[in-house]
Amino acid sequence: MKSVAGQTGTVSRWLSLLLVVAVAASSGASCPQVLRGYQVGTMPLPRALPPQPSLEQVLAAVHDNTQRVRSLTSTQAVLVVPGVPRLSARVACEPPRRFRLQAQTSLTGPELDIGSNDDLFWIWLRQHQPPITAFCRHDRYARSEARNLLPIRADWMPELLGLVNFRTEDSHDGPYPLPDGRLEIRTRLKADDDELLKSTILDGTTGLVAEQHLFTPAGERLASVRTTRYRVDPASGAALPHVVEVSWPASGVDFKLELNAITVNGASLDPVQLWQMPAYPGYEPIDLAEQQLPVAP
């Protein structure tokens, strides 16, 4: 187990990189109008917010968009990381906790597998030495070393893929108008024994979430997500981003996820296999709730 601890830096970097992924929100209201920067096929996005909206109106617009999505898949995604060859990726999500991100190259095959089901989450990296599959149960996360490696809980994963939800148990303030016409919602997140701060930046007309920033109580930025190239799914009416740019300052990670051909509320080909933790031959399962792993810079 000492060799596993010695590789924590690699685990932490890839966990940080791959468990932070996206954001979108919108709803319908009054007169439609064309909005620059938001191309949606041949249809313009409608105005979802009135001038000077209340907090309740902003949250309602975001939640209306989120509730339209029961499942989300993209089988033609691309993961772009500086210094790493482009990885073809597949993404799947079923709120509140089911999530899967798999990436591979045409030459080497599967390279990474990040997932979460109703009971636990896992991370597998083909090139990691020693060969392991790290995992942790959701109900043990708050009292485990996984909390130090992964400050973002598994039930936040759908938000990072565009399915934003302002929980009633958290404290929300705003909206605060910004000079560029956008709006900011400031949230105090209840995170077990700790409290995290979140800034959500939305378009002042459509209600689409453009940025999310997560901070410690001391003001240290943990992660940022910026989303562009929104499209409206014709069947569900949900607006979702097709480009997600993520910054994770603590690990020095910046990456972009390009989501192509998103399918909303479609049937899964093999739901049992999709949401089951994989068993890769030669890779030992390691429970992060059992291991005392030091946190590398």
The whole-number pLDDT of residue 294 equals 37
The pLDDT of residue 147: 64
The pLDDT value given to residue 289 = 84
Tell me the pairing of strands 183-191 and 262-264: unpaired
Task: Give the tens place of pLDDT for each residue, 178-222.
Answer: 999 999 999 998 766 667 899 999 999 999 999 999 898 889 888
Provide the pLDDT for residue 249. Answer: 78
Nearest-angstrom CA–CA distance, 114 and 92? 11
Q: Which amino acid is at 162?
A: G
Return the CATH fold of 2-287: outer membrane lipoprotein receptor (LolB), chain A (2.50.20)
The pLDDT of residue 34: 32
Are 112 and 124 contacting, i.e. CB atoms less than 8 angstroms apart?
A: yes
Residue 271's φ and ψ, nearest 5 degrees, are -60, -35
Residue 167, helix vs strand vs coil: coil
Q: Which residues of the chain have pLDDT under 70?
A: 1-44, 145-155, 191-194, 250-253, 269, 292-297
What confidence score (pLDDT) does residue 211 get? 94
What is the reported pLDDT for 186?
Answer: 97
Q: Residues 76, 260: contact at Cβ < 8 Å?
A: yes
pTM for this entry: 0.77
- Residue ranges covered by each domain of the chain: 2-287
